[in-house]
Amino acid sequence: MQMVFLGTSSAAPTVERGLSSVAILRDGELLLFDAGEGMQRNFIKAGLGMNRKMKVFVSHMHADHCVGLLGLLQTMALQGRERPLEIYGQPRLKEFLLENMRIINFGLTFEVAIHTIEKEGVVVEEEGYQVSCCEAKHSIPALSFRLDERDRPGQFNVELVKKLGIPEGGLYSRLQRGQDVEHKGRVVKSSDVVGPPRPGRKIGISGDTRPTDKLAQFFKGCDILVFESTYAHDKLQKALETSHSTATEAATLAKQAEVKKLFLTHFSARYDETSALVQEASAIHGNVEAAEDLKVVDIPYPS
């Protein structure tokens, strides 16, 4: 699994930063969280591919998080995308997209399925993972998202199975699926040759929000949390006025949620570089990094 930051600026782009967008690549599928204006340029630079299986999740209806969908749709059509595209967001997103798709002649070459999120909870259920949402605290209705992989089967002890005389093939598969098998009058228990389930990866993405106890609980135990850090803490009053978070607040929530690693993002254009924000957050949480446009993060399975 990889995470690619496609835009890390808040409100307006800068020379170095595009508007909000985070991509997660998992088993050939692309999960895109938010799509700020012009994000398709970094999408192309990152080599993510315009015709892969893909889902898009939009946190809220501020332009720096959703307007880029229009350009992305147009670019995908021009490049001949054929696969259906799944888009998830609040009711206003569907209204926004359908109206613009009616007015603008996109010439779409693929089906677009727009799914309305009406309440908190699980948004997508797939065989290997689920995506859920939680209410964020922003100046307009907004959502935070969490990706949870299913637990993987435990480690299969091939050497032990061979010593027990079990032939390769269907019996191996049954043991790996948790089924006991019988061979030559002997019962071999799956639990004796397969280790305990191994946890999947857990990733949280805040969107725009003030920190809340509800979000701290929602992100509990994430391996990675991407949380907005629009301001340094000396601009707390500005954060309160605009319903954003400071680096200190992001780190405090990450510590409360016991997340393993915190990525700060959504930086105000007033910050040419982010080392002071990372330093501020690192005084609270021990594993903090600043997101950068086109930064690629490899996400290993938990050890």
| Rounded distance between C-alpha atoms, residue 267 and residue 226, angstroms | 12
Which positions ≥6 away from 219 have C-beta within 8 Å? 144, 146, 204, 206, 225, 253, 254, 257, 259
Contact by Cβ (8 Å): 267, 274: yes
Contact by Cβ (8 Å): 60, 90: yes
Q: Give how far Cα 91 sits from Cα of 146, 156, 193, 199, Å.
A: 20, 46, 49, 34
Task: Pick the closest to residue 33 from 56, 63, 66 (CA basis).
Answer: 56
Burial of 11 (0-12, 13-18, 19+ CB in 10 A): middle
The question of whether 272 is a catalytic residue gets the answer no
- Which residue among 27, 34, 64, 192 is the active-site one? 64
Helix (H) / strand (E) containing 26: strand 21-26
Contact by Cβ (8 Å): 33, 21: yes
Q: Concatenate the DSSP letters of all residues of 167-229 into one string.
A: PSSHHHHHHHTT--EEETTEEE-HHHHB---B---EEEE--S-B--HHHHHHTTT-SEEEEE-
The residues assigned a catalytic role are: 64
